[in-house]
Amino acid sequence: MIKIKIIVCIKQVPGTTEIKINPETNTLIREGIETVINAFDTYAIEEGVRLKERLLSNPETKEEVEVIAITMGPHQSESILREAISLGVDRAVLLSDRAFAGADTWATALTLQNAIKKFDDWRLVILGKQTLDGDTGQVGPELAQMFNIPFVGYASNILEINRTRMIVKRLMDDRYETFEIKLPAAISVGKEINIPRVPSLRGKLKAKNEQIPVWNKGELGLEDEKIGLSGSYTQVVKIFIPKTIHEVKMITGGPDEQAEELYGKLKELSIL
């Protein structure tokens, strides 16, 4: 009997918009910062669980459907996988290895791809449309490219799905587009697609007791030059927050003098 597997990719990100950068190493300062599931990934989890419920209620696909969450990250990322289980995901896998550190989006996608390959019968990968820290939105399209499967970004509604195909509507800046695509495929989602549920008590208990396997580079059959910093085509050379200077200058004198000084100042600042 064929199982339909839906893979949901989630990432742990800082739960604050006040991200601090270490100016020496150009990396995020993560110490003391609360971490959460990337906001768009919560919609990916919800959509995976809803699709499972939908497929199970369809006589054609009702045998077995499984939703699996995966994340690549440090050991602390396990907490977001437990949260995903509390929200209805069936099981989760953590991809963690010192050698994965410093991965750019390509090396991240390649690591995710090698993990997904280990599941037979996966039919759909759901990702968030972007993360709130890296913010590139590249991982989904890169993953689809690596698998040579269709990719629909910004999916806002899954109109139909069965084992072999799906009809997806997506939201663009000025229009909706509808695609019929063959499965396996990958989609990315944002907040338009659903309203995520809150964890159930049963889900919380399952999450607490679940064994979450950790796969390292050996288990994924990945060599050092393909992963982490060595497998990255890009590297952040410098990240900085531009300094903004707020200066108030009072203009004094009569109306003509004030107008003249203001004109001079605006010209000096290239505003005129």
Ligand X SMILES: Cc1cc2nc3c(=O)[nH]c(=O)nc-3n(C[C@H](O)[C@H](O)[C@H](O)COP(=O)(O)OP(=O)(O)OC[C@H]3O[C@@H](n4cnc5c(N)ncnc54)[C@H](O)[C@@H]3O)c2cc1C
Name the site residues for ligand X (rule: CB under 6 A).
9-11, 27, 38, 40-41, 44, 71-73, 102-105, 108, 112, 127-128, 130-131, 133-140, 234-236
CB of 112 to ligand X, least distance (A): 6
Of the pair 61, 113, the CB lying nearest ligand X is at 113
The residues near 164 (Cβ < 8 Å, ≥ 6 apart) are 182, 183
Look at the block and give the residue holding tokens 């390649």: 110
Minimum distance from CB of 47 to ligand X (Å)?
11
SS3 category, 230: coil
CA distances to 3, 72, 77, 136, 244 from 92, in Å:
16, 11, 11, 24, 43
Residue (211 or 235) nearer to ligand X, CB: 235
Q: Which residue is nearest to ligand X (CB)?
A: 134
Tokens of 55: 């497929």
Q: How far is the CB of 18 from ligand X (least distance, A)?
A: 18
Distance, in Å, from the CA atom of 98 to the CA atom of 75, rounded to the nearest integer, reads: 10
- Cβ proximity to ligand X, 4 vs 9, nearer residue: 9
Least Å distance between CB 87 and ligand X?
A: 14
Q: Is the dihedral of CA 121, 219, 68, 144 positive or negative?
A: negative
For ligand X, the closer of residues 61 and 228 by Cβ is: 228
219 phi and psi angles, rounded to 5 deg: -65, -30
CB closer to ligand X out of 14 and 203: 14
Smallest separation, CB 243 to ligand X (Å): 23
